[in-house]
Amino acid sequence: FRPAFASAPPEQQALVDSVIVSIQGSDPVKARAELDRLSKMPGVTDAQQTVIKDLSAQLDKKIAATANAAAPK
């Protein structure tokens, strides 16, 4: 994920760092929201959008799995 934004402007890189910190901190909901913000920033390339979309899908699965595990049975 990070390599796709290696040459991105500082504001995009700051959001990329925040996404990674959220993932490492086991906060996929926050990471997902930050990815949404990142995808709407001006200057994001098609290749970067693809990386954002792929990571978003992975986070959606993790969020769903966590919700299902926490649901009463």
Cβ–Cβ < 8 Å for 21, 64: no
Supply the pTM of this predicted model: 0.89
- Tell me the residue type at 68: N
Cβ–Cβ < 8 Å for 49, 39: yes
| pLDDT tens, position by position, 6-49 | 999 999 999 999 999 999 999 999 999 999 999 999 999 999 99
What b-and-e string marks burial along 26-65, b requiring 16 or more CB atoms within 10 Å of the CB? eebebbbebbeebeeeeebeeebeebbeebbeebeebeee
Q: Kindly calculate the radius of gyration of the chain based on its CA atoms and give it in whole angstroms.
A: 13
